Structure 1
């Protein structure tokens, strides 16, 4: 064993390593390779540490491992040596793998490798090395190695790949600001050819990452991570510090990049780079047409930056005012940038004072600025219009925007009255309009059952296969439930080769990754059916994983990968049995019906789009069951009642319902309005608790107080949940506060097991929580009382929500609006939370729902109280509600907003501390 080499590796001394290995004879090299490979670079026994503090052990071990790789690489002289330095290892679960020392090529130790290759050129074998670590699929080179190998002619130049490799900093923490800056300064061609191309090649610079930095003012977070843009800010500063002069052409290129359809934070970074570069007036004037074009991008922060540049050159003789005047209106709808827009209006006013405008039609574009809620901006626009555009027809131009006007702008334009032919007799009175809206809605509701579109049922096996494709594409009750029902009815016509016919659909399902939901269950059914199983197959995913491990050990990677996709689907199917017990049970019943040749239809199959059931159809099916002496499945019956169009029942349906004999007959007759008597039956308790709440959503049912369901929310009283700040003791012993919604699925299932045995109490959403992407199907199981389902999706954070929470606050509400569903009680918490959510699409959806509810004359007391509370308790930000108040609301919506403000002012008196932006919200009560 070469002890001096061991010491050099242990100390991370790359120069000493090369000095030692370069002098070894061939026999010494081979024996040393064998000896070194047997050692563990992370073992203090193999590589003793000297004076390494505990906090530095991680970084020291990383250095030793890289030095270990370097020692092996420097003992390679020819192609046959490559195999000798490969190491056979086992991972933590005993799986074999091969460790490649050329992983060093992903590191920052470029110069040490260059020194070695200058002494022992690898031209004869380097391409063979790169075959394993640099392919189309694999990038095993850090940028320094990539650039060096390119300049040596060992790899081709690929601009986009090089730019991405340089700019994208992964989370491994193996990048160094200083090392990259020094390398780039050493190779200025790489700066101009790669780094400065960031303006036209989009990269992942918005990701969070970690790295080494010598900058004491580095903007790393307390957790040691920051956006990659911060990394490059520091690199640019170091390059300039070293003496590199950034080409001034980069200023124009960055300005052009602001026209890219990239993410806002990415463009914001380019704006920061521009401010750091401090464009001169000459540079800005040379690119003023680009500045004007950027006004039309619609990105508020970018428009703000560009407007600052435009203001700085507006007084220059070369300033193209005509082009600015034509392009400026493109920015009029940009949100939350009143100062920038006001600056633009001031440029117009200053020029109009010198040269009054001649194009009267320009006032139509200026009037759009009244949609901006800022009082000062509105006032400036009003003065501009009354001073320079007060010709005939101005009142008609302003008329569509009168509801937006505030303060002095409203006073300035109050004297302008539209002609009788062009405006309503009383613009401020919309009560008649509101009344008409309510009347129209009542009319729509009354004839809902007649206007709903019937769902066609497949009449042939061929149509059934087409419907199967629709199930995969739409994932709706109108496809999935209809498919199972049609399959049962048409089972005698199914061809003998059906197993072959459904194989393409199984492949289609396997081609995508599905999480727990409807599609894994559909796969489970098709898999069970094609295997002629009378019950749903039971997937032993642990056994499957062991088989895959065995194949990996035998180097049969292709076979292992083929088995892994079905295993992932099987895991999802197993989980979905708890998520959608209704659908899993339907699968089991379908297989049973196919086995027993039972063609009786399912009760819960929708008859009308999107998921409703006509009362007479349900009664007819129940009579079919009774005629054959069979009892219907309870869950099937409950979901059928949940989907029933019960508010308008035909005389024929009522007459047929009188003929029902089963133990469910009293419940159905009560539901259809034939009796008001509740005749409890313990076996049918879930059915009774459902239909009573659906039929009379606001009532208290004391009849259930002595039943086993008495403590389930929504059974005795309407579904109301508690919410608010609660003290929490964390694992480290610290005590803090968390805002909690009780019975929200994040809260409910955090420390408790789900309660699938109670899943058919749909009004309380007692089943396991589902993904928001499955919200439409979930809502179809209980469309008349969706409150509990919606509450399960309320995000628990005011900011920094992840993608799952964004979907939670968007997709269910989209379905509610699409299908005109109603919330009754705590469902209003979901609507209110969406109205104050951090993402604008959710706020817009909630606004639309609230406006519709107000037009329908619904009671919004619970919503008002919730909004007042979460604002007064400083949980959800006040500016988001101010955004709602600033919209051009009709009188009824304005009154709603003012009532919330009044409730807020009452609640905030009880608080020890005023929330942020309190004064701004209180001003709306004046």
Structure 2
């Protein structure tokens, strides 16, 4: 064994390594390769360390690891040597695989490799190395090597790939100093790659970890930070080394603020601009860009730009007309009253010199009254009364009267418009008389047009993928069953493009993986849904990866991901999986009887007479309907608007379900329990009489399921939790939320898991519209499963949970009645504004309908008094230009809050601000 080489590797001395390996004969090289490959770079026995501080152990081990790789590749002289330096390994189950020492090309050890390539040019084998390390599947080069290989002519310059490779920082793989020194050495790379960050979007918002010699590095206590911090340090080092950043970069960064990128990304560009300190001449040269940025709607960016505009507003070259035209685009931006006030002051100063002549501009200025800031409103009011006090000003201001505060409020008193222009109270008497049933009826809904030909039926698959709605998915299965005799023999070929289309995207667990499962099963002529062995598929993919067949492996991985989603969707969407199984069975048995739950009217409702007709068809053929299908059909039924013909036909029903259907359609008030049909009875009784207590179920196996005996009400509040480390804390819990499912679930019929009680089952919010279609008349339990469990720091999934279901509720005018109000209240106080806006709209509509909001008021008062959800979010609701009925609702919540807060040990934050609204 070459002891000096072992020592050089252990010390991470790359220069010594090259000095030793470059002098080896061919036979010595090959024997050394064999010996070095057998050693473990992380073993202190194989590579004894000396005088390494404990805190530096991790970094030094990484250095030894790369020194080990470097040793092997420096003994390569020709293409045949590459296979010799590959390191043989075995995984945890004993399967062999190989590791390449050329992984060092992804590190920041640039100089040692270049020294080796200079001494032993790799021209005769570098293409083989790059084929494995730099292809469409793998970006296996750090930027230094990427740039070097490009300049050597070994790889082409692909701008976007280069920019992303430079700017995106993998965990622990980069060094600020190394990158700064490299870029300073190659200024062409700065201008051609680094400074293109203004127009190529990269993942600079990711958290990462890197090596930094900067004592003031902005790393968190956990040693990680956003990648933007990395590049802040690199820029500072470049300037420290003497590099002068081109001033054209200022204009490019200003232009980048118009990009539709994430706010934190644009904020970084704003910080870079402040660091570059644009001169007045530069800002004036780009003032039209500054004005355009005002319309982006990004508050922090508007604030930065307004500061620049203020700094040039007194310059003779300032384009006031351009500013005046673009400024209104910023009037609705949130939480930037200071920036907007600065803009108004620019207007006031110029109007004082040159009074405005365009009277219509006051209509745009009046929009600023929607901003709650008192000083801003006063400045706008003064501007309007001083320069726009011509005829018609009262009518311009009238729509904003509910927004006015302080001195601005006096403006409306002196400029009172006609009574006819005042907005009406939400609580209209005619609206309050509306019943709480879902606001739809068969004669006002759009009938669904069913496909009449086999080709139209197959084309409907595309609509299913695009819309993912009950009006497409359920209709497709129904029509396919009815027209199965006419389906062309080559249907398997015709649906291949749809299978390919489904595989092209990664779907959440839900409808689309199940649609894929059906199409895959049907095209394979299976009479039952296929069962996917994803573990076996994964082993096949692993084998291909070991053989470096990345393209083939990735090709197999897409179906595997879909198969996993389909397997999981069986549990998440039992109704749709059951329908798939029933469809395949019907196709096998040539059964053309229709599904009962297929919607007849948009978006997912069923006319009563149609359901009764279908049941009579089943009875005529002596077949019993599927219970799951019948329950969803009843859930979707327009049961309060039943024609005389439907009632007459319902009297003819003979099946064991007949009493339930006759009860549901209003032919009888008698509940005739049947153990086999217990899920149906528990469903329709709650739908027909949502507020009643049904003691008839107290002696059944369903008695303890929420919504069966009593309406759906769940518990919520702070509960003590004992954690794994023994510590005791408190967590806010919603029972029957998807994290707190009922125990002993398997002991109850599966059908109970999905409808009025929902069992806390949670599916992706992107599937909420379809799931709500399964029980549109009583969506409370479905909605409760989407309530976010945290007051702040919610992830993207929780943001969708608190937005998409509520959008569907509003879109289809659905009603919540009991604990569904918890979801509405949680959305009203959620950390993201879109959810709060949606909840506000729903509450206003409910007040207009005269609904009982007692449960919502109590919930809001409790979560505020218990200091769970922030008071400031409710103050935002109170600050809106609310009609009297909504204001009264807000005050009632505060009164309940005051009663509840007396029971607490301490007052919540911002208590005084909330109490001030009582006055």
Please classify the TM superposition score into its range, dividing by the shorter chain length. over 0.9
Distance 2:298 2:429 in 1: 34
SS in 2 for 1:450: coil
The 3 A distance-change label for structure 1 pair 713 and 419 is closer
- SS of residue paired to 1:763: coil
Cα distance in 2, alignment partners of residues 665 and 205 from structure 1 = 63
Question: In 1, distance between residues paired with 2:510 and 2:156?
Answer: 46
Q: CA deviation at 1:17?
A: 0.8
Contact 2:754 2:761 in 1 (8 A): no
Looking at structure 2, the residues matched to 849 and 277 of structure 1 have their Cα atoms a distance apart, in angstroms, of: 47
Distance 2:61 2:754 in 1: 57
1:692-714 per-position Cα deviation (integer Å, ceiling 9, x unaligned): 11011011111211211111001
Report the Cα offset of residue 56 of structure 1: 4.0
- State the 1:345 CA deviation: 1.3
Does 2:757 correspond to 1:758?
A: no
Of 772-781 and 374-383, deviating more is 772-781
Shift of 1:238: 2.8
Task: Indicate conservation of the 8 Å contact 2:433/2:850, yes or no.
Answer: no
Cα deviation digits, residues 156-205 of structure 1 (max 9, x gap)? 434433322221112x3111222222333333443344323322332221
Offset of residue 894 of structure 1: 2.4
What TM-score do the two structures reach when normalised by structure 1? Answer: 0.92
Deviations 1:694-736, CA, capped at 9 Å, x for gaps: 0110111112112111110011111111112222222222322
Contact 1:430 1:891 survives alignment (8 Å): no
Q: How far has the Cα of 1:829 moved from its partner? A: 1.1
1:393, distance to aligned residue in structure 2 (A): 2.2
1:758 and 1:68 map into 2 onto residues whose CA distance is 61
Offset, 1:55: 4.9
Is 124-133 or 606-615 further displaced after alignment? 124-133
d(CA) in 2 for partners of 1:745 and 1:438? Answer: 27
1:790-828 alpha-carbon deviations (Å, 9 max, x no partner):
111111122222222222122211221221111111111
CA contact (8 A) 1:689 1:761 kept: no
Deviation at 1:760, TM superposition (A): 5.7
Maintained 8 Å contact 1:756/1:768: no
Q: Secondary structure at the match of 1:77?
A: coil
TM-score (norm 2): 0.93
Distance, in Å, in 2 between the alignment partners of 1:798 and 1:664 is 46
- Pair 599,195 (structure 1): closer, same or farther in 2 beyond 3 Å: closer
**Aligned partners of 2:436 and 2:851 also within 8 Å:** no
**Contact conserved, 1:758 with 1:766, CA < 8 A, in 2?**
no
Q: CA deviation at 1:8?
A: 0.9
Q: Distance in 2 between matches of 1:405 and 1:867?
A: 26
The 8 Å contact of residues 809 and 815 in structure 2, kept in 1 or not, is answered as: yes
State the SS of the aligned residue for 1:438: coil
The structure-2 alpha-carbon separation of the partners of 1:756 and 1:845, relative to structure 1 and needing over 3 Å to count, comes to farther
Deviation at 1:749, TM superposition (A): 8.1
Aligned to 1:451, the other structure's residue is in SS state: coil
Change (3 A) 1:317 1:541: closer
The residue number in structure 2 matching 1:8 is: 8
Q: Measure the CA separation in 2 of the matches of 1:583 and 1:436.
A: 32
Question: Structure 2: where are the runs of 5+ without partners?
Answer: none
497-506 or 61-70: which moved more?
Answer: 497-506
**Corresponding residue SS for 2:526:** coil
Q: Could you tell me how far apart the structure 2 residues matched to 1:182 and 1:59 are? A: 20
Indicate conservation of the 8 Å contact 2:740/2:760, yes or no: no
* Contact 2:427–2:850 (8 Å) recurs in 1: no
SS in 1 for 2:182: helix
CA displacement at 1:362 relative to structure 2: 2.4
| Deviation, structure 1 residue 789 | 0.5
TM-aligned CA deviation for residue 561 of structure 1? 5.0
Q: Deviations over 1:510-537 (max 9, x none)?
A: 4433343223323333333344433333
- For residues 712 and 651 of structure 1, the distance between their equivalents in structure 2, rounded to whole angstroms, comes to 35
Tell me the distance in 2 between the aligned counterparts of 1:824 and 1:435: 15
Residues 437-469 of structure 1 show CA distances to partners (whole Å, capped at 9, x for unaligned) of 999xxxxxx871211222233333333222333
Comparing 718-727 with 836-845, which one deviates more in the overlay?
A: 836-845
Bigger shift: residues 99-108 or 390-399: 390-399
Selected match of 1:620 from 613, 617, 630: 613
Structure 1 unaligned runs (5+)? 440-445
Segment of structure 1 superposing worse, 591-600 or 684-693 = 591-600
Report the secondary structure of 2:711's partner residue.
Answer: coil
Q: 1:892, 1:486 → 2: CA distance?
A: 48
Change (3 A) 1:380 1:434: farther
In the TM superposition, residue 691 of structure 1 has moved relative to its aligned partner by 0.8
> In the alignment, what sits opposite 2:877?
884
CA distance, structure 2, for counterparts of residue 436 and residue 626 of structure 1 = 35
Residues 555 and 327 (structure 1 numbering): CA distance in 2 closer, same or farther, change over 3 Å? closer
322-331 or 423-432: bigger deviation: 423-432
Over 3 Å counting, the alpha-carbon distance change for 1:124 and 1:829 in structure 2 is same
How much has 1:584 moved relative to structure 2?
2.1
Pair 1:634–1:17, CA change in 2 (3 A):
same
2:464 is the alignment partner of 1:471: yes
**Aligned position for 1:236:** 235
1:34 positional shift:
2.1
**Residues 593 and 361 of structure 1: is their aligned pair in 2 closer, same or farther, counting only changes over 3 Å?**
closer
1:202-248 residue CA offsets vs partner (Å, 9 max, x unmatched): 22211111112233332222332211111112222333344444344
Q: Which residue of 1 aligns with 2:25?
A: 25
Cα distance change, pair 753–118 in 1 and its aligned pair in 2 (3 A): farther
**CA distance, structure 1, for counterparts of residue 370 and residue 529 of structure 2:** 58
Contact residue 700 and residue 718 of structure 1 kept, 8 A: yes
Pick closer, same or farther for the CA change 1:361–1:12 going to 2, 3 Å.
same
Cα distance, 1:20 vs. partner? 1.1
Compared CA separation, residues 703 and 501, structure 1 to 2 (3 A):
same
Residue 66 of structure 1: CA displacement?
Answer: 0.3
- Alpha-carbon distance in structure 2 between the residues aligned to 1:289 and 1:465: 53
Classify the secondary structure of the residue corresponding to 2:434: helix
Q: In the alignment, is the contact (CA less than 8 A) between 2:806 and 2:838 conserved in 1?
A: yes
Residue-by-residue CA offset, 1:816-872 (whole Å, 9 max, x unaligned): 122111111111111122222222322222222222211111111211222222223
Q: Call closer, same or farther: CA 1:167–1:550 in 2, change over 3 Å.
A: closer
1:635 offset after TM fit, Å? 1.7
Secondary structure of the 2:215 match is coil
Q: Secondary structure at the match of 1:747?
A: coil
Moved more, 289-298 or 775-784: 289-298
Per the TM alignment, residue 332 of structure 1 is displaced from its structure 2 partner at its CA by: 1.4
Structure 1 residues 700 and 4: alpha-carbon distance in aligned structure 2, compared to 1, 3 A threshold: same
Distance 1:435 1:360, change over 3 A: farther
Alpha-carbon shift at residue 133 of structure 1 (Å): 2.0
Deviation sequence 1:27-55 (CA, Å, 0-9, x none):
22222122212222223332223344555
C-alpha distance 31-790 of structure 1, shift in aligned 2 (>3 A): same
**Native 8 Å contact 1:536 1:591 kept in 2:** yes
1:578 and 1:768 in contact (8 A); partners too: no
Deviations 1:334-353 (A, max 9, x none): 11101111112122223333
Indicate yes or no: 2:625 matched with 1:632. yes
Q: Once structures 1 and 2 are overlaid, which stretch shifts more, 822-831 or 115-124?
A: 115-124
Paired with 1:608 and 1:429, the residues of 2 have a C-alpha distance of 29
- Residues 521/284 of structure 1: CA separation in 2 closer, same or farther (3 Å cut): closer
Following superposition, the deviation at residue 564 of structure 1 comes to 4.0
Q: Matches of 1:703 and 1:759 in 2, distance apart? A: 17
- For the Cα contact (< 8 Å) 1:438–1:857, is it kept in 2? no
Alpha-carbon distance between aligned partners in 2 of 1:511 and 1:154, rounded to the nearest angstrom: 33
Give the whole-Å Cα distance in 2 for the aligned partners of 1:792 and 1:427. Answer: 30
Count of matched residue pairs: 919
Distance in 2, Cα, partners of 1:580 & 1:231: 45
Q: CA shift at 1:496, angstroms? A: 4.2
Aligned CA distance change for structure 1 residues 481 and 298 (closer, same or farther; 3 Å):
closer
What is the distance in 2 between the residues matched to 1:668 and 1:824?
23
Q: Answer yes or no: is the 8 Å Cα contact 1:438–1:856 preserved in 2.
A: no
Q: Could you tell me how far apart the structure 1 residues matched to 2:566 and 2:698 are?
A: 38
Per-residue deviation at 1:13? 1.2
Give the match's secondary structure for 2:747.
coil
Query: Which gives a bigger RCO, structure 1 or 2 (Cα 8 Å, sep 6+)?
Result: 2
Contact 2:425 2:885 in 1 (8 A): no
Deviation of residue 785 (structure 1)? 0.4
Distance 1:710 1:811 in 2: 32
**Distance apart, 1:421 and its partner CA:** 8.5
User: Would the aligned equivalents of 2:427 and 2:847 in 1 still touch at CA under 8 Å?
Assistant: no
Q: Deviations over 1:860-909 (max 9, x none)?
A: 12112222222232322333333322333322222222322333333333
| Inter-CA distance 123–870: structure 2 relative to 1 (3 Å threshold) | same
Quick one: structure 1 residues 778 and 119, their matched pair in 2 at CA, closer, same or farther if it must change by over 3 Å? same
